[in-house]
Amino acid sequence: MDHFLYRNGILHAEDVAVPDIAAAVGTPFYVYSAATLTRHYHLFTEALSPLPHMVCFAIKSLSNVAVLKLLGDLGAGMDVVSGGEYRRARAAGVPGERIVFSGVGKTREEMRLALTGGIRQFNVESEPELRALSEVAVSLGFVAPITVRVNPDVDARTHEKIATGKKENKFGIPIARASEVYAEAASLPGIEVIGIDVHIGSQLTELEPFEQAYLKVADLTRRLRSEGHDIRRLDLGGGLGIPYTRSNEAPPLPTDYGALIKRTVGDLGCEVEIEPGRLISGNAGLLVAGVIYVKNGEGRDFLILDAAMNDLVRPSMYGAHHDIVPVVEAPAASPTHAYDVVGPVCETGDTFAKGRDLPLVAEGDLVAFRSAGAYGAVMASEYNTRPLVPEVLVKGDHFAVIRERPSFDEILNRDTIPAWL
């Protein structure tokens, strides 16, 4: 569910007409619904109750500080994968004890940042990282709380670029080697073992892969406890998918996911952490674009937008589908037309959809990409020297720009011409 609905034929973000935002900030732009973000966060907290738990929002899906503050004020923890994301979480007012640091390539500088600034735990992904963290913690006089990310070799049945739980993926340590890695962790100074971490991928649309992974984690918990480790926290990752189309097929609900967690690990007496990103932020955002031209081609017609692959890379990178809808609703039974929906970037890959049936549109019309809140703005670039697009947050009947579109002077002034040129 989201809060983007037609009213009197005009698409609204909560109680704000999308054309009003376009008039104020220009196109393209991202717009997020505070009500949708709030609702989706609460779906997870309710699904896990009464287990002791923390819902840590995966910042990599949507990292705007205003969004992080909204979720942090609700009580959310944060899952970060870089020093920059850690800084964003702290800038949003999230305390260190609610920040989990994941990622395969944490640097010593990032470790120092998190240890001195406060951290809930490090999800350690390799033995070299474990040893580096021990050295950094000892040098600072800190003890680093850790989980070890185990790779359960479970097929998440998702896109190959976002599957993370198979043995050929770069993430975690093989679950078969967990005992020896935990033994080393327990022997190192400056390290406190507190739990286990697992994450098998993103945009999962069925529960069975989660169940396979979590049952393995439950068995590992019992084994590690028998070996003397105080396993009291289970970080189960994220990855629950969202519906990108308006069809009747939908991924499992958070309530079903919560029931699975209780069934597989609920009897272990552990605090449970989950790290949802996409399901909280995905359907909470739109990318709104303007039509530059309608171009008639050889056997196909092109809808050329002012948004491009640098603004929303998912279709080009993953072959991902986003529903595209007109901002002004077409009358019932209006004719449709098949368009290739493309952007102005000089790449054939700058294509959002091929042969997509849409109501007839014209130059100057507005269209909206649904389910664009996750991995949209965060993956944008300035390719072709196209400015990053504004981000807007709506609450009720008002909106605020939470990231401005940079000017061309700001972009050009980042470059420096050396004195010898």
Q: Which residues are catalytic?
A: 346
Which regions of 85-190 does DSSP assign to beta strands (E)?
99-101, 121-124, 144-151, 173-174
Residue showing tokens 């042969």: 355
Distance between CA 369 and CA 358 in Å, rounded? 12
Q: Are 270 and 232 in contact (CB under 8 A)?
A: yes
Tokens, residue 220: 């590992």
Phi/psi of residue 338, each to 5°?
A: -85, 120
Show the DSSP H helices in 147-207 as ranges.
178-187
Most distant CA pair in the chain, distance = 70
**Rounded alpha-carbon distances, angstroms, from residue 128 to 9, 60, 74, 86, 125:** 58, 24, 36, 22, 9
Q: Cα dihedral angle (277, 144, 106, 309), rounded to 10 degrees?
A: 10
Q: Are 185 and 197 in contact (CB under 8 A)?
A: no
Listing from the earlier edge strand, what are the strands of the sheet with 10-13? 4-7, 10-13, 16-17
